[in-house]
Structure 1
Amino acid sequence: MTTNIPPTSIVVEVLGDDNYDDWSACMKSYMLAHDLWDLIDPADHQEVDSKPIDHREGDSKAWRKKNAAALHAIQISCSPRILSRIRSIISAKVAWDTLSNSQQQHSPSHEVQSVESELSQVSGSVSNEMNGPLLTLYKHAHNGDWDATKNYLDQYPNAIRATIEPYGGTALHVAVSAGNLNIVEELVKLMSEKELEIQDNAGNTALFSAATVGITKMAECLVSKNPNLVTLLDEDKTTPLAEACARNHKDMALYLYSVTPVEFLCQDNGNHGSLFLQYAIGAQMLDIAFDFLHRFPYMTTTMDIDVVKSNPLIRLSAMPEIFQSASRLALWQQWIYSCISIEPIATGGDNFCICMPDRSVSGSKNITLQVLSKLCGFAINLLTFLGIKQIYDLKKIHIYSDKILRCMCEYISNLDHEEILEAGIIGAFHAAVKHGMVEFVIEMIKACPHHTYRLGNMFMSSVANRHEKVFSLIYGLETGRALFFPLVDSSSNTVLHQAAKLSPPSQLARISGAALQMQRELQWYKVSFVHSTSLKRKK
């Protein structure tokens, strides 16, 4: 008989220290229904067959299979902490008996008395096990029930700083992770600045959890009580600002950027600033990235040594989608793109600042502002429906990416040869060629003209990856043509070898139909052959 054990249909709640009676009743019913209970209590097994399977052949394959099924059902119905008690047991009956015996040592009355005793201590140290009253507090905070939470804290005031397992966070951590803003606001009123700095088992403060969730008002509530939270983190941990960017929470990132001291981002050799900048670029929060970069251009090549272990320039070189050369717009979209006018972005010594979202308008009593806000929202929705807003946003991204690239290249142009090699700039150059980023290649050639001797390998890369614009750009450089032939890579392949290989799948996918794809491949080979012959003749 095949026995399936669905992990979510055995018990209502996994076994803890306060629900053994309900758990055991559900487990017994389950095992009876699946013909497994005779393994736990042979005397209670009533079948027509006078010899149960475990009596007929104790070491049989069938018995082992049933024992494994029963043991697995018990294991997946226990909490991780309870499972640790029976992890090494291989008999379902022994596991059952072990849990039954341990229940006598963890009765509800014993647990409540233990937790109440700990809660009464002046230090506020509370049981680190999710049981008894602490489990109740967890549920109230998670469900957003402030009245129940308040009643609990009135009875056990020190529990507000308790760390609740298995995550090791406080009730505030629980409320933040569950997105219960009202509970967070009330708990913050009751907690001291020091209590807001409590970290969970992963080293995260409540502010870091808020950055993960993305509810900006939570962060505002926490920071207004304790501004130091934006810089409080364990070693090798990301900042709340970097976390908001990594999670793509734009409003949260804007707020945290406005309250995070730039001195903190620049300390430790700019490690935190570099990571934040890379995440901001990766999330296409280019207005924030440009604001920070134009104030601290040296962050272009500053390495993050703990998490990503890269720098913003390298990150930018792997994002062709934010540059205009990667756009694939229809004719009507190109026409709209050309007609859209975007206000110039301040640079250099201008007082550049990013716009923070205004959350006061919706709640304003000024009827005029409310009406204008509604009309503005209607206009935005209409533009979104027509696809114009997407084109506007795309053009804005292109403008910002161009500004960021120029800012980076201006800084790079002042570096010496050794600094360029240490910063991985050559690798970023190669990545840009591989991704067909024409704008990046142009600016890099302008910034590092003394490195044009490396263009030979990049020329071959443009052929291998089928980027015709980059191919034409590099080939058009008179100063570099003499270096292009003869060209061989590490496998002794020439440009013609690269042209003879099949295009990358991403390039082939842009052309519909095998016939057109074949035609395109032949064109690449012919062009490479003509240019190679021409270069050889000139040489």
Structure 2
Amino acid sequence: MSSPGPQSTPASTEPKHPSRHLLEKSKREAYLDLCVPLHKAAIKGDWDTAKRILTNNPTLLSASITKGWQTALHIAAGARHIHFVEELVKMMDEEDLALQDKKENTALSLAAEAGSIEIAKIMIQKNKFLPTIQTGKGPTPLFKAALLGQSEMACYLYPKTYPTLSETNRNALFFSCIDTGLYDLAMKMLEDDTTLATASNSKAETALHVLARRPLEFGGRSTLGMCSRLMKSFSGIEDSYKSSKQTKALELVKCLWNQILKHDDDYVMCLITEPSEVLFDATRLGNYEFLSVLINAYPDLLWETDDENRTIFHVAVLYRHASIFNLVHETGSIKDIIVTFTDDENNNILHLAAKLAPQNQLNLVSGAALQMQRELVWFEEVKKIVQPLYIDMKNKDGKTPQELFTSEHEGLLCKGESWMKSTANSCMLVATIITTVVFSAAFTIPGGIADNTGAPKFLKDTAFIIFVISDGVALFSSSTSMLMFLYILTSRYAENDFLKSLPLKLMVGLASLFISMTSMMIAFSTAFYLSCHDGLGFVSDFIFIFAFVPVVLFVFLQYPLLCDMFLSTYYSGLIFQPRKHMIQ
């Protein structure tokens, strides 16, 4: 394609600095009387004051008014005062707009950093060569905008700067755009120069190498807890900016990959395996969407292995990326062959599932017990796809997958047991106290007993019926809770107990504890009402309201754990059900 914009002659590379005569020691008084007020006016955008000073002292238009050699235009451009800059530029000569400060920044460079397109347009209209002036031997305003992620500014300056860029500078700008997420500009550059698809940065990496290590740019999995992720998915709230950015990133990957695939197979494989293996960089980080683009266009990648003889499925299992592992179900009969591959240590894919997951993956689930549960879910899921022969296969260390799982997870098992016992101990103490209180309350009749009949005075009162029911519910639910926590404390803590048994007992215990606490507070409130409502009605209302503060606090503090436990126990298997097909 043709280069954007008209060809123009770049400005001289020799820096042109403003006059510094007012910074001399002999001119200290003039500096304080003129430069300081002008500096303040430029910062505030006070054009009236600045105009009065400049009209009386026109040499200040091209003079340094700060110790950093900045002119009034530098200050106003960096402060984004459009009207001030517009009026100031009218008074200045064309060449004065190219003046550079001590760091060799032009006023346009500062405007580019600030992202003020209107100011840039005003200055470029006066001097069309400004975009090509470099900061010494450093970046042009376009580079400054790209480095700071100023997307609109970078897109505006690009066609005005591109014709003067050398191949080295084009490559540097292209990678800067990728580094700062300016994918729309990177796409435009790739359309103008397709050789950028195979260009490399200072680390000898192509753009694909860089993008492979950015799963979040493609909507990769966040580190939110399971409960939080579910609530977010149901909320229907989507960050449109983030979604748009992910779409642009994917489009860029597609364009890069299509350009690379125009070369022969040997060149393609060499390009994506040096200096690191793009396919496995993306797999280790769970960059599912990135891999989807590559594999859709070039399915042969499914057979590729890393330097340890592992396919992307083996690596996905090792790093616990279910979305990538699920691809194995789309490969048909290929699956039966790929899962038989063993690595350099003679580990099959089930051995890799038996290894302890990376800490960042464990942290996606709260608590050591649920982390152990998730590890068991993974192990059982991978076991489903391997042939019976490989379930008892030994690696170089002479361990079967089950033996490796036990040794790898010994520490996590101990932590899970400790976490379960400490949680059960704390909750059992509360359940015991509630049981004691509500049991004794059953024999302490609120309002007393009638002398002539021996029956409770408020036997037919609705509040009394509520008291009896709530006291009974509190007793039964707290007793249930105690039994559940007692089971947890006396459990044998075998590995498989963490899969369903222990989490289920803890959930029932916590739910029963919540019911007992709520019922106890209802019983207390109704008892207080029956005893005091005649003379202290407003007090009983007040007590009734505040009686539920502990209940609310319990929900606030324990609900996330209960929610995570429920989802982890009953919905963990859903992560192995692909929501969409990678190969289309």
**TM-score of the pair, normalised by structure 1:** 0.56
| 2:368 match | 514
CA distance in 2, matches of 1:141, 1:325: 45
Higher relative contact order (CA 8 A, sep 6+): 2
Q: Specify the alignment match of 1:206 in structure 2.
A: 107
Partner of 1:268: 166
CA shift for structure 1 position 433: 1.0
The residue number in structure 2 matching 1:465 is 319
Question: Of the candidates 184, 190, 195, which is equivalent to residue 293 of structure 1?
Answer: 190
1:321 is aligned to 2:177: no
CA distance in 1, matches of 2:305, 2:83: 59
Q: Supply the distance in 1 between the matched residues of 2:336 and 2:128 (Cα, whole angstroms).
A: 55
For residues 2-32 of structure 1, the C-alpha deviation after alignment (integer angstroms, 9 at most, x for no partner) is xxxxxxxxxxxxxxxxxxxxxxxxxxxxxxx
In 2: Cα distance, 1:536 partner to 1:154 partner? 88
Distance 1:502 1:237, change over 3 A: farther
Q: CA deviation at 1:487?
A: 0.4
* Residues in 2 aligned to 1:191 and 1:472: alpha-carbon distance in whole angstroms: 65
Code of the residue aligned with 1:412 in structure 2: it is: I
Deviation at 1:398, TM superposition (A): 4.1
Match of 1:443 among 260, 271, 293: 293
Q: How many residues align?
A: 358
The structural deviation recorded for 1:466 is 0.9
Specify the alignment match of 1:195 in structure 2: 96
User: Are positions 1:421 and 2:262 aligned together?
Assistant: no
Partner of 1:260: helix, strand, or coil?
helix
- The answer for the alignment partner of 2:414 in structure 1 is none
- Assess, with a 3 A threshold, how the Cα gap between structure 1 residues 201 and 333 changes in structure 2: closer, same or farther: same
Structure 1 stretch displaced more, 278-287 or 316-325: 278-287
> Quick one: structure 1 residues 487 and 268, their matched pair in 2 at CA, closer, same or farther if it must change by over 3 Å?
same
Distance 1:182 1:392, change over 3 A: closer
Tell me how far apart the structure 2 counterparts of residues 447 and 192 of structure 1 sit (CA, whole Å): 58
Work out the CA distance in 1 between the residues paired with 2:142 and 2:329. 43
SS in 1 for 2:43: helix
Relative distance call for 1:422 and 1:332 in structure 2 (3 A) is closer
Task: Give the superposition deviation at 1:253.
Answer: 3.2
CA contact (8 A) 1:280 1:286 kept: yes
Runs of 5+ consecutive residues of structure 1 not aligned to the other structure: 1-122, 336-385
Shift in alpha-carbon separation, 1:398–1:174, aligned structure 2, 3 A: closer
Change (3 A) 1:318 1:236: farther
Between the aligned partners of 2:205 and 2:140, the Cα distance in structure 1 is 17
CA distance in 2 between partners of 1:254 and 1:322 (Å): 20
Summarize the alignment of residues 50-69 of structure 1 with structure 2, pairs less than 5 Å apart. Answer: none
Compared CA separation, residues 243 and 311, structure 1 to 2 (3 A): farther
56, 62, 68: which is aligned to 1:167?
68
Distance 1:247 1:519, change over 3 A: same
Paired with 2:301 and 2:353, the residues of 1 have a C-alpha distance of 28
Asked whether the 8 Å contact 1:420–1:426 carries over to 2, the reply is no
* Alignment-derived partner of residue 487 in structure 1: 343
The alignment-based identity, stated in percent, is 29
2:150 equivalent among 239, 243, 249: 249
Change (3 A) 1:387 1:187: farther
Out of 109, 126, 141, the residue aligned to residue 21 of structure 2 is: 126
Distance 1:203 1:488, change over 3 A: farther
Q: Partners of 1:282 and 1:124 in 2: how far apart?
A: 38
* Displacement after TM superposition at 1:438 (Å): 2.0
Deviation at 1:483, TM superposition (A): 8.7
Equivalent residue of 2:342, what SS? Answer: coil
The code of the aligned residue for 2:251 comes to K
Maintained 8 Å contact 1:475/1:481: no
Deviations along 1:397-421, one digit per CA (max 9) or x if unpaired, are 4433332221111011123435753
Aligned-partner residue type, residue 192 of structure 1: D
Q: 1:164 to 1:441 in 2, by over 3 A?
A: same
8 A contact 1:297–1:407 mirrored in 2: no
Query: What do the CA deviations read for 1:175-203 (whole angstroms, capped 9, x no partner)?
Result: 22233333322222222232212222223
Structure 1 position 433 matched with structure 2 position 328: no
2:258 to 400, 403, 410: 410
Partner of 1:178: 79
Contact map agreement 1:485 1:535 (CA 8 A) in 2: no
Whether the 8 Å contact between 2:86 and 2:122 is mirrored in structure 1 is yes
In the alignment, the residues of structure 1 paired with residue 389 and residue 23 of structure 2 have an alpha-carbon distance, to the nearest angstrom, of 75
Structure 1 segment 34-433 matched on structure 2, within 5 A: 124=19, 126-128=21-23, 131-134=28-31, 135-136=35-36, 137-234=38-135, 237-257=138-158, 259-264=159-164, 267-269=165-167, 271-305=168-202, 311-324=206-219, 326=221, 390=238, 392-416=240-264, 417-418=266-267, 421=270, 424=274, 426-433=276-283
RMSD: 3.9
Deviation of residue 156 (structure 1)?
3.5
Q: Deviations over 1:483-513 (max 9, x none)?
A: 9622037xx9775664344433432333344
Distance 1:332 1:168, change over 3 A: same
Deviation at 1:138, TM superposition (A): 2.8
Residues 437 and 450 (structure 1), Cα distance of their counterparts in 2 relative to 1, 3 Å cut: closer
Q: Is 1:525 paired with 2:379?
A: yes
Distance 1:503 1:444 in 2: 26
Return the alpha-carbon distance in structure 2 between the equivalents of residues 242 and 447 of structure 1: 34
Q: What is the CA–CA distance in structure 2 between the aligned matches of 1:465 and 1:178, rounded to whole Å?
A: 47
Residues 22 and 64 in structure 2, CA contact (< 8 A), matched pair in contact too: yes
Matches of 1:450 and 1:218, distance apart in 2: 49
Distance in 1 between the 2:336 and 2:257 partners?
21
Going from structure 1 to structure 2, the CA distance change for 1:322 and 1:196 (only over 3 Å counts) comes to same
Contact 1:300/1:312 (8 A) holds in 2 = yes
Structure 2 stretches of 5 or more lacking a match? 1-17, 394-584
Give the conservation status (yes or no) of the 8 Å contact 1:212–1:244: yes
Distance 2:29 2:344 in 1: 72
Query: Is the CA contact 2:70–2:102 (under 8 Å) kept in the aligned structure 1?
Result: yes
Counterparts of 2:269 and 2:186 in 1: how far apart (Å)?
A: 22
Q: Distance in 1 between matches of 2:91 and 2:82?
A: 15
Whether the aligned pair in 2 keeps the contact of 1:274 and 1:302 (CA below 8 Å) is yes
Q: CA deviation at 1:208?
A: 1.3
